[in-house]
Structure 1
């Protein structure tokens, strides 16, 4: 009789292949070319952190939460994203499950592809995201313009992502990186932000925390954000482990820095309840990883560099302007 963990791993692989890999990993190369380390290589902190898919997903949920405290990003999503539910083109204040699934799928392909993919794969993913950012421009109802290529926005976006991924890893990974090893992750991940056009990016845990708090004067819980958090999510029918559920919303707010928790009206449970909730989430995330193991893409990347690696690329920042494409043209090449 096959071990139960093997059965669970096979089921997970089939589900991941049907719902994520077949839709969002098309054209991404992990098995070759032989010796290509990609952007980071097997000895990097990024390879270790991103190999734990459950904490990676939680980190992305946390990053999306704090990112949306910027009113401009709230309006970018409202005007341009498929995540808001729409009836006859008008957002209702709810979340479109399919739109949210698409956002998660693209995010996973990007952060797994840039970690473990070939150098060409990582560069292709970065070009696609930059091209999509070029199309996200508009005006908020208060008359302020927003632009996804704005250097301040890119810096904020980068800081929220590296904060979310590192914080979820540090709190919920069974064997998290600590001290200098965790700082190495913050330093390595700068390559991703630079590839998306970011400049003057924070490169340590302290710098990221300082960067996030420095944006506080411009942050707010907009009506858009309020509709998608806290009590307004009760009874929405989303499964507890899925993004958009009341529990995942709680988990994201529980990870926030204290100043952001106050902004988001987070009320910390009593110590016993807090420990139980965090413990249950820790067990669920690590239990899922223990049952399923690392993704096929990680294993392919390990085999690709088993005989040694060539020198990594010197820099990931774009070396020339991108062609201007419409959203439809970008999606056709994704």
Structure 2
């Protein structure tokens, strides 16, 4: 192998490993074995739309977008601010969320059900009052539906914008139907099963959404103050720009985010596309791909 080729391969593996460890934590290899290497029947296979969406690098942007969108529900934001430790342990929260999504999409059914029950147990203990005095609880079916809808809408939107291909209308409905499974097991009710229902449900929440001081503070933290070394911030900025560019205009207006003419087409989306392409190139390094192979006999 030529020196330049070796250097490129080493850089690819290094970046891919850094991204994997940032999302999955120090136990990334162990978690990979639990999700992809363990025996057992899965709910979905690599041929399913949900597996393709959740397994793509566009999820990096989708996760940022989902956090921004979710912050606009004042009760959901109060719960996050009061109980999640998103500032003191942001990577821990990201690790737990990514593990939940990966396990319920690609892991053995038994392990996925155990993961869901663990989250339900945590939700039962999370309750309090928002700054305006209203009570909230994390196992509220309406809040669970909001979190689910914001995530599903974000994951699909960013996949359509930055993924390797665009989903067809039929695939959009299939994704929503497949994603609804985990949401319902978590305790959400009236979960949308088609793309049209998902868009309608998201729009239905708009009367209760607002940019509270906590929401704006969270947006600043997520977009401008990520706990990253200076050397890694330019790469993160590419993903953050893509997240902002794909948010609905009304959400950007509420959070005071860029919405000037030309931002989406000339800045946000091109930067997001480039950041996603580099991330996809890195996380699909052959050495990393080997850890994400499901045993053929158990994924039928």
User: What TM-score, normalized by structure 1, do the two folds share?
Assistant: 0.76
- The within-5 A match list for 1:204-243 is 204-229=194-219, 239-242=233-236
Is the contact made by 1:229 and 1:249 (CA closer than 8 Å) also made in structure 2?
no
1:47 maps onto 2:51 in alignment: yes
Give the aligned length: 290
1:261 maps onto 2:252 in alignment: yes
Deviates more, 1:295-304 or 1:273-282: 295-304
The root-mean-square deviation of aligned C-alpha atoms, in Å, is 2.9
Partner of 1:82: 85
Deviation at 1:159, TM superposition (A): 0.4
Is the contact made by 2:173 and 2:194 (CA closer than 8 Å) also made in structure 1?
yes
- The within-5 A match list for 1:112-127 is 112-127=102-117
Q: Secondary structure at the match of 2:166?
A: coil
1:66 maps onto 2:53 in alignment: no
Task: For 1:297 and 1:116, locate their aligned partners in 2 and report how far apart those are by CA, in whole Å.
Answer: 16
Q: Secondary structure at the match of 1:138?
A: strand
What runs of 5+ residues in structure 1 fail to find an aligned partner? 85-95, 311-334
Partner of 2:165: 175
User: What TM-score, normalized by structure 2, do the two folds share?
Assistant: 0.84
User: Measured at CA, do residues 258 and 209 of structure 1 come closer, stay the same or move farther in structure 2, by a change above 3 Å?
Assistant: farther
Partner of 1:252: 243
User: Measured at CA, do residues 75 and 21 of structure 1 come closer, stay the same or move farther in structure 2, by a change above 3 Å?
Assistant: closer
Is the contact made by 1:58 and 1:168 (CA closer than 8 Å) also made in structure 2?
yes
Partner of 1:133: 123
Quick check: which one's helix share is greater?
A: 2
Deviation at 1:44, TM superposition (A): 0.7
Is the contact made by 1:41 and 1:47 (CA closer than 8 Å) also made in structure 2?
yes
Is the contact made by 1:155 and 1:198 (CA closer than 8 Å) also made in structure 2?
yes
Is the contact made by 1:6 and 1:292 (CA closer than 8 Å) also made in structure 2?
no
Pick aligned residue for 2:37 from 5, 15, 31: 31
Deviations 1:236-288 (A, max 9, x none): 7851444xx6x655433322223323323344233277324311220221122
Partner of 2:193: 203
Q: Secondary structure at the match of 1:28?
A: helix
Task: For 1:168 and 1:153, locate their aligned partners in 2 and report how far apart those are by CA, in whole Å.
Answer: 22
User: Measured at CA, do residues 23 and 279 of structure 1 come closer, stay the same or move farther in structure 2, by a change above 3 Å?
Assistant: same
Deviates more, 1:41-50 or 1:223-232: 223-232
What runs of 5+ residues in structure 2 fail to find an aligned partner? none
Task: For 1:296 and 1:30, locate their aligned partners in 2 and report how far apart those are by CA, in whole Å.
Answer: 15
Deviation at 1:175, TM superposition (A): 1.7
Is the contact made by 1:39 and 1:119 (CA closer than 8 Å) also made in structure 2?
yes
Q: Secondary structure at the match of 1:60?
A: helix
Q: Secondary structure at the match of 1:38?
A: coil
Task: For 1:195 and 1:296, locate their aligned partners in 2 and report how far apart those are by CA, in whole Å.
Answer: 34
1:103 maps onto 2:93 in alignment: yes
User: Measured at CA, do residues 231 and 179 of structure 1 come closer, stay the same or move farther in structure 2, by a change above 3 Å?
Assistant: same
Partner of 2:10: 7
1:154 maps onto 2:144 in alignment: yes
Is the contact made by 1:130 and 1:196 (CA closer than 8 Å) also made in structure 2?
yes
Is the contact made by 1:63 and 1:164 (CA closer than 8 Å) also made in structure 2?
yes
